[in-house]
A = this chain, B = another copy of it.
Amino acid sequence: MIHPEHIEKHFTASEMVRDIVIGMADGLTVPFALAAGLSGAVEATQIIITAGLAEVAAGSIAMGLGGYLAAKTDAEHYASEKYREEREVVELPEVEAAEVAEVFRGYGLPDDQIEKIVDSLRKDPVKWVDFMMKFELGLEAPDPKRARTSAFTIAVSYIVGGMVPLTPYFFAATARQGLMISAAVTLLALLVFGYIKGRYTTSHPFRSAWQTVVVGGLAATAAFTIAKLFG
């Protein structure tokens, strides 16, 4: 058994988590940094809120729709490579057979065994193509529903993330006050987010937590400096 529950978990959880991480990491960081940057250059919270919300709208669409198109492109790439392999096992079976043999030679299998494997695969062209897709090209059949789910997850995560640093400015009297509350709230959110992300993706959740905070802090510092220079 290939531990189906393990693989299942690996695939679905990690792709969904990855999309949330992609959207939320940028959603927490970029609008926070933009708002922080503008706080160093303008007085009115109104402008910061306007710019921040415009960024969240633009960023969520760019990332979500971008993710959608990228997933669609992956699916097409898979289909076109598969079509090519399907033609090749018919038109150039000797070349393809040699490619299979090469894969196994790399793992130290003796030639007489390799020959038998190749013969077995040649008897079933459908499985032969599947084999070439996975073992020669390293491509997995993409989930057709994934593009839409992925786009939606990334966009929503970006919006949710982006509202965390912007909300304090709605209630702040001055840009400076907004920045203070926004920085406190966002750094806390980045810590929690980095920790949870780390729990899913590494064995070092605390390191992940401070790394996420450092990225957000650096982005905000760069934006603040640039805005001070040009504002």
Contact = CB atoms under 8 A, between A and B. Distances in A.
A62 B231 contact: no
A226 B117 contact: no
A110 interface: yes
Contact of A58 (B34, B49, B77, B230): B34
A95 B38 CA distance: 58
A152 to B, nearest CB: 15
A54 B113 contact: no
A66 B215 contact: yes
A202 B77 contact: yes
Chain A interface helix/strand/loop/mixed: helix
B116 A2 contact: no
A211 interface: yes
A53, A103, A216: residue with the most chain B Cβ atoms closer than 10 Å = A53
Contacts of A130: 107
A127 interface: yes
A147 interface: no
Interface string A112-135: 010011001101100110110011
B107 A2 contact: no
A178 interface: no
A108 to B, nearest CB: 5
Q: Which residue among A25, A73, A103 has the maximum number of chain B CB atoms within 10 Å of its CB?
A: A73
